[in-house]
């Protein structure tokens, strides 16, 4: 199944990466990467450890110099047009970038001074739930509060795009969900978000489109639903038949991606067509299906499938 993505906003591309290549000490880690991020979307970047995600986003941020390829951020080159890119792009800081003794207020004031037309940090702090923490030193903040501060600092320059790299790593489930709402708020305020994450639930819930990076290349690019649909099958059907079913008949059912029969339990992944075919087969053969389960495949299933060696 192929899903055609329509940009949420129709405002056109804001980040364009074309045939990006980067090697470290002769070892290629980004190998001809190309993708386009539409303005107004949350664009996810997924991939196994070492796939080249951080290297790629650091090239977009102008923190690393590509060996070849082109990158445009709102039409600007991150290296040649550094000043212009700094005005349109907000990047999440790494924890080491802030001194532990700096208070939240001081950090917001300091980073405001970096931009010619910064947002007023007070309402921003309010929106991010940081007002009560303004006098707290960075080193005393919880993981979730630090992430809120990083989002605030990334938004201070009123960017058109923010890059968030593993923003929710280390957060408890509640703080992670709060952060997701914040990211949606950011997107709803018109800012494009590029999100690098290892959390499939996060990507499935937040991202409009996702690039799965495999060994420095785009292995797949689609909406979360599109990725799920095009990999292992969008629906998983499992049941224990009251009598054995000929495996050749099961394997020939329409729309299915995978088939497994173990210890008397049958598991198929496929489409709605597969579900209907299973039901018809069972009815025609007068077979009972015990513990029949029909579940949606998840992005997790799709990711494992798409990053198989």
Ligand X SMILES: Nc1ncnc2c1ncn2[C@@H]1O[C@H](COP(=O)(O)OP(=O)(O)OP(=O)(O)O)[C@@H](O)[C@H]1O
Query: By the criterion CB under 6 A, which residues form the site for ligand X?
Result: 24, 29, 47, 49-55
What is the pairing mode between strands 13-24 and 27-38?
antiparallel
Residue nearer to ligand X on the CB measure, 45 or 74: 45
CA dihedral 279, 285, 290, 293 (to 10 degrees): -20
In whole angstroms, the minimum distance from the beta carbon of 289 to ligand X comes to 41
Residue nearer to ligand X on the CB measure, 54 or 267: 54
Radius of gyration of the chain (CA): 23
In whole angstroms, the minimum distance from the beta carbon of 303 to ligand X comes to 13
Nearest Cα neighbor of 240 from 274, 269, 264 is 264
What is the pairing mode between strands 265-270 and 42-47?
unpaired
Half-sphere exposure of 241 (CA within 13 A, CB side): 20
Residue nearer to ligand X on the CB measure, 49 or 291: 49
Residue nearer to ligand X on the CB measure, 197 or 274: 197
Cα–Cα distance for residue pair 264/266, rounded to 1 Å: 7
CB-CB contact of 57 with 63 (8 Å): no
Residue nearer to ligand X on the CB measure, 10 or 25: 25
In whole angstroms, the minimum distance from the beta carbon of 20 to ligand X comes to 12
In whole angstroms, the minimum distance from the beta carbon of 51 to ligand X comes to 4
In whole angstroms, the minimum distance from the beta carbon of 166 to ligand X comes to 7
Nearest Cα neighbor of 54 from 170, 140, 164, 186 is 164
In whole angstroms, the minimum distance from the beta carbon of 33 to ligand X comes to 11
Structure tokens at 54: 């951080």
What is the pairing mode between strands 13-24 and 68-73?
antiparallel
In whole angstroms, the minimum distance from the beta carbon of 240 to ligand X comes to 39
Query: Phi-psi region for residue 21, left (φ > 0), alpha (ψ -120 to 50) or beta?
Result: beta
CB-CB contact of 60 with 71 (8 Å): yes
* Phi, psi for 236 (deg, rounded to 5): -115, 125
CB-CB contact of 171 with 147 (8 Å): yes
Nearest Cα neighbor of 256 from 272, 239, 280 is 272
In whole angstroms, the minimum distance from the beta carbon of 125 to ligand X comes to 29
Residue nearer to ligand X on the CB measure, 50 or 123: 50
Residue nearer to ligand X on the CB measure, 52 or 144: 52
Residue nearer to ligand X on the CB measure, 74 or 211: 211
Instruction: Report how far Cα 160 is from the mean position of its chain's Cα atoms.
Output: 18
Cα–Cα distance for residue pair 94/91, rounded to 1 Å: 9
């Amino acid at each position: 199944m192929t899903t055609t993505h329509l940009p949420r906003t129709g405002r056109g591309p804001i980040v364009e990466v074309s045939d990006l290549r980067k090697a470290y000490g002769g070892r290629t880690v980004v190998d001809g990467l190309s993708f386009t991020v539409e303005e107004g979307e949350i664009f996810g970047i997924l991939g196994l450890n070492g796939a080249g995600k951080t290297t790629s986003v650091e090239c977009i941020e102008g923190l690393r110099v590509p060996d070849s390829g082109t990158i445009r951020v709102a039409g600007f080159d991150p290296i040649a047009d550094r000043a212009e890119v700094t005005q349109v792009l907000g990047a999440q800081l790494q924890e080491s970038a802030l001194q532990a003794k700096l208070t939240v207020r001081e950090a917001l004031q300091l980073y405001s001074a970096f931009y010619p037309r910064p947002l007023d940090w007070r309402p921003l702090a309010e929106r991010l739930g940081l007002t009560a923490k303004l006098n707290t030193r960075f080193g005393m903040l919880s993981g979730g509060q630090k992430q809120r501060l990083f989002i605030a600092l990334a938004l201070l320059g009123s960017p058109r795009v923010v890059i968030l790299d593993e923003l929710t790593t280390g957060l408890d489930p509640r703080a992670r969900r709060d952060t997701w709402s914040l990211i949606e708020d950011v997107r709803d305020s018109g800012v494009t978000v590029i999100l690098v994450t290892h959390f499939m639930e996060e990507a499935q819930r937040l991202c409009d489109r996702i690039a799965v990076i495999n060994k420095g290349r785009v292995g797949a690019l689609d909406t979360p639903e599109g990725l799920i649909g095009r990999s292992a099958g969008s629906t998983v059907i499992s049941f224990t038949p009251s009598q054995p079913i000929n495996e050749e008949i099961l394997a020939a059912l329409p729309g299915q991606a995978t088939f497994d029969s173990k210890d008397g339990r049958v598991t198929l992944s496929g489409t709605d067509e597969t579900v209907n075919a299973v039901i018809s087969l069972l009815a025609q053969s007068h077979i009972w299906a015990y513990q029949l389960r029909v579940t949606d495949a998840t992005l997790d299933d799709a990711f494992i499938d798409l990053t198989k060696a």
